[in-house]
Chains A and B, each alone.
Chain A
Amino acid sequence: MRVKLVVQRFDPERESRPYWQTFELVDVDPTDRVLDLLRYVKGQIDGTLTFRHSCAHGVCGSDGMRINGVNRLACKTLVKALTRPEAGSVEIKIQPLLGLPVIKDLVVDMEPFFRHYRSVLPFFISHQARPERERVQMPQDRLRIDDGTKCILCACCTTSCPSFWADPRYVGPAAIVQAHRFIFDSRDTAGKERLTILNAPTGVWRCRTILNCTDCCPREIQVTRLIGEVKKALTVNRGRAVAITGESSTGVR
Chain B
Amino acid sequence: MRTHVFDAVIVGAGGAGLMAALHASQQVKTAVISKLHPLRSHTGAAQGGIGAALGNLEEDRWEWHAFDTVKGSDYLADQDAVDILCREAVEAVIELEHMGLPFDRTAEGKIAQRPFGGHTNNETRQPVRRACHAADRTGHMILQTLYQQCLKNNVTFFDEFELLDLIRVDGEVRGLVTLEIATGELHLYHAKAVLFATGGYGRIWQITSNAAALTGDGNAILLRHGFPLQDMEFYQFHPTGIYQMGILLTEGVRGEGGVLVNGKGERFMERYAPTIKDLASRDVVSRAIYLEIEAGGGINGQDYVFLDIRPETVNHYFAADGKTNPDGTPRQITADDIERKLPDIADFVRTYLGIDPVLEPMPVQPTAHYAMGGIPTNVEGQVLQDAQGTPAPGIYAAGECACVSVHGANRLGTNSLNDILVFGRRAGRHMAHYCRERELQTFPLEPAMAVAERLERLRSGRGGIRATDLCAAMQGVMMKHVGVFRTEEAMQLALAEIQRLQRESEQIEIDDRGKRFNTDLLEALQTQNLLDLAQVVTLSALARTESRGAHAREDHQERDDIHWLKHTLAFRRPDGSVELEYKPVVITRFEPKERIY
Q: Could you tell me which A residues sit within 8 Å of B by CB distance?
A: 11-14, 31, 42-44, 46-48, 50-62, 76, 78, 103-104, 107, 109-110, 114, 118, 122-126, 130, 132-139, 141-142, 145-146, 149-150, 152-153, 181-182, 185, 187-188, 220
Contacts and interface: CB of A to CB of B under 8 A. Distances in A.
Contacts of B518: 50
Contact of B103 (A124, A125, A134, A153): A134
Contact of A136 (B104, B110, B511): B110
Contact of A48 (B211, B348, B511): B511
B468 A61 contact: no
B531 interface: no
Interface stretch (B147-155, B378-386, B491-499): B147-155
Given A48-B512, A62-B40, A134 B110 contact: yes
Given A62-B36, A62-B37, A133-B94, 14 more contacts: A43-B468, A47-B466, A59-B45, A59-B344, A60-B40, A62-B40, A104-B516, A109-B182, A124-B100, A137-B105, A142-B103, A142-B104, A149-B102, A150-B137
26 contacts: A14-B514, A42-B519, A46-B511, A47-B520, A48-B511, A50-B512, A54-B211, A56-B212, A57-B247, A57-B348, A58-B348, A59-B44, A59-B140, A61-B39, A62-B40, A103-B517, A114-B37, A123-B100, A124-B149, A133-B110, A136-B108, A136-B109, A139-B104, A145-B102, A152-B44, A181-B102
B111 interface: yes
Contacts of B105: 137-139, 142
Place the interface of chain B in its size category.
35 or more
Contacts, number: 155
A189 B6 CA distance: 34
A135 B97 contact: yes
B148 A122 contact: yes
B107 to A, nearest CB: 7
A55 B94 contact: no
Interface of B: 36-37, 39-42, 44-45, 93-94, 97-100, 102-111, 134-135, 137, 140-141, 144-145, 148-149, 151-152, 182, 211-213, 245, 247, 344, 347-348, 351-352, 354, 466, 468-469, 510-512, 514-520
Contact of B100 (A78, A109, A118, A182): A182
Contacts of B520: 42, 47-48, 50
A138 B109 contact: yes
A98 to B, nearest CB: 19
Nearest to B39: A153
Contact of B151 (A47, A123, A153): A123
B182 A78 contact: no
Contacts of A31: 352, 354
Nearest to B184: A13
Given A48-B511, A48-B512, A78-B352, A124 B213 contact: no
